[in-house]
Amino acid sequence: SQTIHQWPATLVQPVGSPLSLECTVEGTSNPNLYWYRQAAGRGLQLLFYSVGIGQISSEVPQNLSASRPQDRQFILSSKKLLLSDSGFYLCAWSNGVNNEKLFFGSGTQLSVL
């Protein structure tokens, strides 16, 4: 069966510090991978998606970047965090053939202070 791992679960970082959140998927190959951010009252905002290794599409301009160094690994990064980067970050995957169903990880609560 397929599983998605996302870590860490919580993270408190000072403004200006770097960020690296990692997500891995097991039990499937060539998945589509996604990073979402969930802010209070703003729903789920798609940040990045990837259909393959090294292929990253950005949905919104921002202080963050994403990379996909391996087929089932997706990384969200920042060189210098801003206060506005605080939020609940969710990684998700979907079957590359049938994109309809998204499977979400358990999320990372990021607080930038």
Partner 1 sequence: QQQVKQSPQSLIVQKGGIPIINCAYENTAFDYFPWYQQFPGKGPALLIAIRPDVSEKKEGRFTISFNKSAKQFSLHIMDSQPGDSATYFCAAANYGGSQGNLIFGKGTKLSVKP
| Shortest CB 33 distance to partner 1, Å | 12
Scan for tokens 């169903």, then name that residue.
101
Nearer to partner 1, 15 or 60 (CB): 60
Tokens of 77: 């990064």
Interface residue list for partner 1 (CB under 8 A):
6, 34, 41-46, 49, 51, 59, 90, 92, 99-107, 109
Nearer to partner 1, 5 or 73 (CB): 5
Give buried/exposed letters for 34-50 (b at 16+ CB in 10 A, else e). Answer: bbbbeeeeeeeeebbbb
